[in-house]
Amino acid sequence: MDRKDLARDLAAIVGPDHVRVDDGALAAYARDATPLFHSLPQAVVLPGSTEEVAAVLKYATERAVPVVPRGAGSNLCAGTVPLTGGIVLALTRLDRILEVSSEELLARVQTGVTTARLADAAAQAGLLYAPDPGSRTVSTVGGNVATCAGGLRGLKYGVTRNYVLGLEAVLPTGEIIRTGGRLWKDVAGYDLTRLLTGSEGTLAVITEVTVALLPAPAETGTGVAYFPSLADASRAVADVIASGIVPATLEFLDRKCISAVEEFAGLGLRQDAGALLLFGDDGDARAVATNLGRIQEVCDRAGALEVTLAEDVARADALLAARRCSLPALSRLGSVTILEDATVPRHRLAEMVDRIDEIAARHDLTIATFGHAGDGNLHPTCVLDPDDHEAVDRAHAAFAEIFAAAIALDGTITGEHGVGAAKLPYLADRLGADQVALLRRIKNAFDPAGILNPGKLGS
Amino acid sequence: MDRKDLARDLAAIVGPDHVRVDDGALAAYARDATPLFHSLPQAVVLPGSTEEVAAVLKYATERAVPVVPRGAGSNLCAGTVPLTGGIVLALTRLDRILEVSSEELLARVQTGVTTARLADAAAQAGLLYAPDPGSRTVSTVGGNVATCAGGLRGLKYGVTRNYVLGLEAVLPTGEIIRTGGRLWKDVAGYDLTRLLTGSEGTLAVITEVTVALLPAPAETGTGVAYFPSLADASRAVADVIASGIVPATLEFLDRKCISAVEEFAGLGLRQDAGALLLFGDDGDARAVATNLGRIQEVCDRAGALEVTLAEDVARADALLAARRCSLPALSRLGSVTILEDATVPRHRLAEMVDRIDEIAARHDLTIATFGHAGDGNLHPTCVLDPDDHEAVDRAHAAFAEIFAAAIALDGTITGEHGVGAAKLPYLADRLGADQVALLRRIKNAFDPAGILNPGKLGS
Selected residue of A184, A203, A294, A444 to mutate for chain B interface (largest B Cβ count, 10 A): A184
pLDDT in tens, B313-347: 788 888 888 888 888 899 888 888 999 999 999 99
Is B437 part of any domain?
no
Show which of A186, A215, A244 is a domain's final residue. A215
**Residue pairs between chains A and B whose CB atoms are closer than 8 Å:** 259
Are B158 and B103 within one domain? yes
Interface contact A185-B427, CB threshold 8 A: no
Best of B57, B104, B106, B187 to disrupt the A interface by mutation (most A CBs within 10 Å)? B187
Taking an 8 Å cut-off on Cβ atoms, the answer to whether A185 and B458 are in contact is no
Chain B residues whose beta carbon lies within 8 Å of the beta carbon of residue A420: none
Residue in B50, B145, B177, B186 to test binding to A, most A beta-carbons within 10 Å: B186
Residue B381 within any structural domain of the chain? yes
| β strands within A363-411, DSSP E | 366-372, 377-384
Q: What are phi and psi of B218, to 5 degrees?
A: -65, -35
pLDDT at B267: 86
Q: What is the pLDDT of residue A39?
A: 98
Q: What is the CA radius of gyration of chain B?
A: 22
Nearest CA in chain B to A289: B284
Compute the nearest-CA separation of B421 from chain A (Å).
Answer: 12
Q: Find how far residue B335's CA is from the centre of its chain.
A: 22
Q: Is residue A13 part of a domain?
A: yes
H or E element that contains A411: none
The Cα of B329 is separated from the nearest Cα of chain A by a number of Å equal to 25
| Whole-number pLDDT of residue B418 | 97
Asked if A26 contacts A20 with a C-beta cutoff of 8 angstroms, the reply is: yes
Q: Which of A212, A234, A253 is nearest to A303 (CA)?
A: A234
List CB contacts of B393: < 8 A, sequence separation 6 or more: none
The pLDDT score that the predictor gives to residue A170 is 98
The pLDDT score that the predictor gives to residue A356 is 97
DSSP A197-236: TTSTTSS-EEEEEEEE-EEPPSEEEEEEEEESSHHHHHHH
With a CB cutoff of 8 Å and minimum separation 6, the contacts of B317 are none
Q: Which residues in chain B have Cβ-Cβ distances shorter than 8 Å to A197?
A: 191, 194
Does residue B225 sit in the same domain as residue B174? no
Judged by CB atoms closer than 8 Å, whether chains meet at B198 and A178 is answered as: no
pLDDT tens per residue, range B62-88: 999 999 999 999 999 999 999 999 999
Q: Is residue A110 part of a domain?
A: yes
Stretch A373-397: mean pLDDT: 94
- Using alpha carbons, select from A196, A77, A240, A211 the residue that is nearest to residue A132: A211
Q: Is the ipTM of this complex over 0.85?
A: yes
Measured between CB atoms, which of B183, B190, B432 is closest to A442?
A: B190
Under an 8 A CB cutoff, do A185 and B238 touch? no
**How many domains, in total, are found in chain A?**
4
A458 has pLDDT over 80: yes
CB A251 within 8 A of CB A370: yes
Tell if the CB–CB gap between B417 and A187 is shorter than 8 Å: yes
Do residue A446 and residue B441 have CB atoms under 8 angstroms apart? yes
Residue B16 DSSP code: G
Angle, nearest 10°, between helix axes B433-446 and A433-446?
160
Is residue B342 within 8 A of residue B352, CB to CB? The reply is yes
Q: Are B287 and A287 within 8 A, CB to CB?
A: yes
**What distance in Å separates residue A123's CA from the closest CA in chain B?**
13
Pairing label, strands A219-227, A205-212 = unpaired
Q: Which residues, in sequence order, are CB contacts of B232 under 8 Å at separation 6+?
A: B274, B275, B302, B303, B304
Q: Calculate what percentage of chain B has a pLDDT beyond 90.
A: 89
Q: Higher-confidence residue: B152 or B376?
A: B376
Instruction: Say if residue A299's pLDDT is above 90.
Output: yes
Provide the pairing of β-strand B176-180 with B164-170.
Answer: antiparallel
The boundaries of the domain holding residue B117 are 97-215
Residue B232 lies inside a defined structural domain of this protein: yes
- pLDDT number for residue A327: 86
Look at residue B389 and tell me if it is in a domain. yes
Encode pLDDT of B421-434 as tens digits.
Answer: 999 999 999 999 99
| Residue A317 neighbours by CB under 8 Å, 6+ apart | none
- How close does chain B come to A415, measured CA to CA in Å? 4
CATH number, domain of B125, equals: 3.30.465.10
- Using CB atoms, pick whichever of B181, B412, B414 lies closest to residue A181: B412
A339 & A359 share domain? yes
Q: How far apart are CA A38 and CA A336, in angstroms?
A: 14
Query: B304 and B198 in one domain?
Result: no
Q: Are residues A322 and A305 in the same domain?
A: yes
Query: In terms of domains, do B234 and B138 share one?
Result: no
**The three-state (H, E, C) secondary structure of B371-432, written as one string:** EEHHHCEEEEEEEECCCCHHHHHHHHHHHHHHHHHHHHCCCECCCCCCCCCCCHHHHHHHHC
Q: Is the residue at B382 inside a domain?
A: yes
pLDDT at A17 over 90: yes
Encode burial over A153-179: b for 16+ CB neighbours within 10 A, e otherwise.
bbbbbbbbbbbbbbbbbbbbbbbbbbb
pLDDT tens column, B296-305: 999 999 999 9
Distance CA A30, CA B156 (A): 43
Contact call for A184 and B159, based on CB within 8 A: yes
Rounded Cα–Cα distance for residues B456 and A145 (Å) = 29
First to last CA, chain A: 22
Report the DSSP pairing between strands B19-20 and B43-45. Answer: antiparallel
Tell me, yes or no, whether A289 and A391 share the same domain.
no
Which CATH number fits the domain that encloses residue B72?
3.30.43.10
Q: How far apart are CA A143 and CA A80, in angstroms?
A: 10
Domain boundary among A215, A239, A259: A215
CATH number at residue B272: 3.30.70.3450
Q: Are residues A102 and A206 in the same domain?
A: yes
Interface test with A, best of B145, B178, B184, B295 (most A CBs within 10 A): B184
Same domain, B259 and B351: no
Among candidate residues A188, A215, A242, the one where a domain is terminated: A215
> Do A374 and A339 have their domain in common?
yes
Q: Are residues A148 and A39 in the same domain?
A: no
Residue A20's pLDDT band, with cuts at 50, 70 and 90, is very high
Residues of A in contact with B218 (CB under 8 A): 244
Tell me, yes or no, whether A353 and A364 share the same domain.
Answer: yes
Residue B263 lies in a domain: yes
CATH code: domain of residue B351: 3.30.70.2740
